[in-house]
Structure 1
């Protein structure tokens, strides 16, 4: 477990929090591994009845730590790397999962939310999936789930153009389930967690599984399809040039 992911057990509540605020909670390979391990382990622990995902500091997450990710770039055919393990853990999770987001939720900071049962967002939160800007393709089965939620045209707006969107729009198409006023996110989350923990635990788990229904295989299949393209893109000239531009722009600020 890395110090950049807080793993805190509060009775039946497992709290996972991204803890790299000085880097806007940019996710490293080690952080992916820690999250994947924690979510996978919770499946075999009947004492865990709710998992929450949060972020320390001013942002939920600024997305991938690109320098770290490119350094640990997967080899052809490699499917057990931490990021893919996390995505599969999210897709097969059987414990009610709540995300509480604020600030910026970039890249996987948005796509992981498609696998949460409830998403709480503080006013002012900004969601963005800038995959094509970096020469990449969507991941986390977002190319399947987002069009079903928002419609194909809005999905194209967010995935092809990479346009950001706010809490009101996210709530309108069904990504966000609860809104919180500025400064009230933690209290809102505590209330929702308390409600879930007050319900009979087996009924909660069974209902969560029923809600996921028969879509799990389809989601996993789409993830594998996306992951194959994603891995290929990582070795492309387009990606190298796009990431060089990203770091040059950041250095110029």
Structure 2
């Protein structure tokens, strides 16, 4: 199982469920998450989507072991389910709440650009490791993070490949609330229940009006990022970083 789905009082909870791999995204998990988001959008009985992770990580990002294998065998050039998940996030018609229970790396951080509310455990940390991997940003983060955090905060996160702790993430504006680890899910769920008590038609109208102003920017940034990523993927810096990752394993 890669994704657990549960419903309670119009709140659909999606739990990334690869704790042994720190909930790193494989092609299977990208597809499962995209499908679940699309289904939540279409389900009239779902008012709010709550996304979290199982175990000690929110998500360690892209599964680099799988990524390296796909680059080596040439299958990576044949496409990925990653864009499908990003489209599902951008098109989600219901409010999205993220409960960051542990480390968020790569897409485990950039996915927060699509969230309407982000709750973060006080022990969680975030990192965008793109420059340390010799690649470019992803998931329209080069557009969404400056919008969310301000240009300089986003620039540091995207350029440095350094960790950002929960307190700093809150100061920067990528986390709305910081919670004690044992209170994270309950706090996120209490706020989800407040939203779920409102008419779904009104929630979707608010979500639609907020999201509409970002659609063109997301599309443009995605095109730019994809071109840069494709140019750098498999290059000298990227190959060296992946080789170093393999040696550490």
Fold match by TM threshold 0.5: yes
1:88 aligns with 2:87: yes
Equivalent position SS for 2:132: helix
Equivalent position SS for 2:42: coil
Task: Report the alpha carbon displacement of residue 120 of structure 1 after superposing the two structures with TM.
Answer: 0.6
Equivalent position SS for 1:25: coil
**Where does residue 220 of structure 1 map in the other structure?**
219
Task: Report the alpha carbon displacement of residue 194 of structure 1 after superposing the two structures with TM.
Answer: 1.1
1:1-253 equivalences in 2 (<5 Å): 3-73=1-71, 74-75=76-77, 78=79, 81-248=80-247, 250-251=248-249
2: CA distance, partners of 1:15 / 1:149: 24
Task: Report the alpha carbon displacement of residue 70 of structure 1 after superposing the two structures with TM.
Answer: 3.1
Task: Report the alpha carbon displacement of residue 179 of structure 1 after superposing the two structures with TM.
Answer: 1.8
**Structure 1 residues 205-234: Cα deviation after superposition (integer angstroms, max 9, x where no partner):** 111112223211221221122122222322
1: CA distance, partners of 2:11 / 2:230: 35
Contact 2:47–2:94 (8 Å) recurs in 1: yes
2: CA distance, partners of 1:16 / 1:220: 25
Equivalent position SS for 1:99: strand
- Relative to structure 2, which stretch is displaced further, 47-56 or 233-242? 233-242
> Please, which runs of 5 or more residues in structure 2 have no aligned partner?
none
Equivalent position SS for 1:183: helix
**Structure 1 residues 8-66: Cα deviation after superposition (integer angstroms, max 9, x where no partner):** 23352221111111111111110001001111222222221111111000111111111
> Please, which runs of 5 or more residues in structure 1 have no aligned partner?
none
C-alpha RMSD over aligned residues: 1.6
1: CA distance, partners of 2:210 / 2:170: 19
> What TM-score do you get using the length of structure 2 for normalisation?
0.92
More helix per residue: 1 or 2?
2
- Relative to structure 2, which stretch is displaced further, 147-156 or 46-55? 147-156
Task: Report the alpha carbon displacement of residue 72 of structure 1 after superposing the two structures with TM.
Answer: 3.6
